[in-house]
Structure 1
């Protein structure tokens, strides 16, 4: 009786997880997400034992393997659940056995496998109504799970294609430059904002698709292109830089670009939901911004050793001069800088977190012989450990 109860419970959990994973719009599941995180943790640490180029290629295989892992877990849960049900009631009076087979756990698993695959019985078959119904139910559930698995694969593949489309649009328009604002300024005209409006509209649609794919199918988060410029951290860095710069470097520009506010809101929702579901971001840098005097010296070009945040802000804002006419004095620019700095720090902290979590910025080679023992002692986490960002001058 105990084995039968365990089998029924395992079946219920497996079926519920499959239904939630595939049909629930919010991407909830009982253990699928935890299984992805555990697999990624194991796979990433195993990759550290390989040469760096091979390790990068191995990490790109994690997401495709996760699909096979999840399907295997669902099928294995159904097979094991029904095997325990069969074994819990297996006797000579309940099952007809022949060919030397005796009631045993291997025999129950064999019956469960051949029933799920609908290839027919061999020398084991049910001899009463209750187990005949159980056998028919397993065959039906096997067909349903296999159909769900194909649907799940196609849905994940469709979400990844949408992500690739967004990345390709950014890559083709912005190129390989590390400065997205510089690339934008080369392609857009000052006299006509229609190109910028069109770009922001497409990017907003792409962010919506990316957000929906990441929320609906957690495997999309672990999709890791080999080219770092097409990676998720790089994509969020570019989108965040565009949204922050266009919003704060020239506040009046937002009045003519309604899609800019939509893009900004979409990025905020994406970062918030990713932080809650995958990567809890450590506390960003809260050191005070530079003083007005220091900013004025950097603004006038007298300070060549200004902080990186000031240099990045001024560089991004100067790129806008090719798009819109802006004639800010130092006080206006400093006020814009104070509004831009918290948003930029949040973006940079989030990008650094997911880049570390996906293995783009860490050393994938072990540095000591006790590496495996250290990794196993820490164990996998549902989410990565919080990163600590050192305080630095703004």
Structure 2
């Protein structure tokens, strides 16, 4: 019979000011019921009229954990939840949920649909937490294209713009998984290759096509420019919307590039990783510059995120695992990502302590490493 106390462990889990090492801003404006539900899924397709996203692991978790913060009972019906949300208004809902998350520092990636969400100052004001910026590599290139940069000047102008854009940033991020996949040529492209590819892309932009950068050569150039910048590099990995090919987002496909990057002493952060969390754990074990989290998967697996968290702790050294929410838009996602992580760590580590497999002291150390200390070290945040 399990008899060891976990009182101190539970207190440590609740009290730790988390560092959310990969997150986006919360919504600025009111949204109707349909729009809210569309933000509670990674699908980009219309929701069928016969279903609701509240009938999902994520929806049930929102009703379980977020409803009480809005003055409702646990498991309040979806209609009542949305009505209460409208009564309180977006600002009040966002403030309640962000301040209740217990996140002490948000590392915010600002490159996705920034006009719809709060930026750094807005998130700082609403959450009462510290914020830092992570710069999306592709967004910097697309801003140059919008200004009419020439193909011959693109490489130099990009490097200079990235330096300015990241002057106060703590990291950079690439979405090469979305635009290409991880089975890319790992070698740094030549300047001649970059100029040629930039010419093709910029001609398309001039002709009125999207700014979206998807050329394999250019994406590799951006990634290697991130390496040269020397800041930690975040890579979206695994689960996401239908814009990606999930089978090409297995992080094991990155091994050739990971080996080439290793001498540069730049930390690489694999984000989310579901359903490849075990592959990510293997990479974090065998390569000193690889770290990972299971952030996005925690929200979307709801109560079953306990299993995901447990698997993330199987193989990798605990100093190589970080906490994140990857929340974008509804503040329910910011709060829930933290709440479910705390619940999962309590259940998983608590069982190991009660069974005598771990000491409570060691369990508390791991909570502090994953929830806060690893991010402080990796992103050179000091003790903030």
Q: Which has the higher contact order (CA 8 A, sep 6+)?
A: 2
> Which structure features the higher share of strand residues?
2
Which structure's residues are more often helix, by fraction?
A: 1
TM-score range, shorter chain: under 0.3
TM-score, L = length of structure 2 = 0.25
